Amino acid sequence: MQFLGAFLVGLALLVQAPLAIAADGGSGYFRKGRVQLDLHHAIAVPSAEDDGRIYVYLTPAPLDAAQVARAFRREIRVDELLGDGSTGYVRICITPESEECGLYFSHNQPSSSFNSFGSGAFTREVTPPGRVKGRWVKAEPEDFFGEDIAYDLQFDTVLTAPAGQPLPEGGGAPGQAYRQWTAAVARGDVAALRDLVGDEDSRARLDYDEANRLAALKEFRDGTPVQPRVLRGRVEGDAATLWVEGTDRDGFVRRGRVRMQRIEGSWRYMDADLVNVQ
């Protein structure tokens, strides 16, 4: 009988094991209709907007947290790291007040996605600085256009901050190059833009024909601040991120991030993620 009792205890622990969290990782599942993603790993990174929020990514396979933290467009990098096949991730947003600010589910083969906030039971536990631990559960399925949604998301992981050093006031050399870029955009100076843009596709459009040049100029001008302020910046090697704000040609205040790259010794504009703030 003693052996049988020990066996039953061990069996119970084994059954519970899939939901047990390792010292640094995550576990659980997300189910949307017939698509279920079983999760075994978690990373946490500060929001790319540098606004105090934290994003936790739960995945079936491990991710390189440092690569995700330094990526300008995080979700694209996560997809690249996970690769093709039947896989995906769940992203949890956490506010500075330790409340949830949204959940996003993405799956490939079959393709499926889901956005939600304010549903289920979210808790974040108190941890030492630099760690993020919590759980988000929706055990009772919820109907979403004919598909049941249910999940149990658990995470306990280190918070991985982006590498690099802060730039001086005004953004240093990358900030100066960005202001030169916006000035060239405002005046439609194609020759200057060729020298200041680092994205090969954009340069090719400027060199192709008049129709492509005009279309590229319009895209550059739409939403680009005319006289931007560089609020702060961070540089890591030949890559820099600027946080900027300014009014575009339509009078809308735009704020967000700009990616700059040093190519052949010169800083060049690569990409921007700006939103209206009024």
Q: What is the average pLDDT value for the chain, to the nearest integer?
A: 89
Structure tokens at 64: 């390189």
Radius of gyration in angstroms for the set of CA atoms belonging to the chain, rounded to a whole number: 23
E strands of 34-111, at which residues?
35-39, 41-46, 54-59, 87-94, 100-108
- Which are the contacts of 104, defined by CB distance < 8 A and separation ≥ 6? 90, 91, 93, 113, 114, 115
Q: What is the pLDDT of residue 208?
A: 77
- Which are the contacts of 249, defined by CB distance < 8 A and separation ≥ 6? 186, 221, 224, 226
Determine which of 10-19, 92-101, 102-111, 138-147 has the lowest per-residue pLDDT on average.
10-19
pLDDT surpasses 70 at 9 = no
CATH numbers and ranges of domains, the chain: 21-158 (no CATH), 165-276 (3.10.450.50)
Alpha carbon distance 275, 241 (integer Å): 16
Q: What is the pLDDT of residues 168-204, one digit of tens each?
A: 999 999 999 999 999 999 999 989 998 999 988 888 8
Q: What is the pLDDT of residue 18?
A: 40
Q: What is the pLDDT of residue 20?
A: 42
Q: What is the pLDDT of residues 223-266, one digit of tens each?
A: 899 999 999 999 999 999 999 999 999 999 999 999 999 999 99
pLDDT surpasses 60 at 95 = yes
pTM for this structure?
0.85
Q: What is the pLDDT of residue 11?
A: 37
pLDDT surpasses 60 at 6 = no
Q: What is the pLDDT of residues 196-215, one digit of tens each?
A: 999 888 888 888 778 888 88
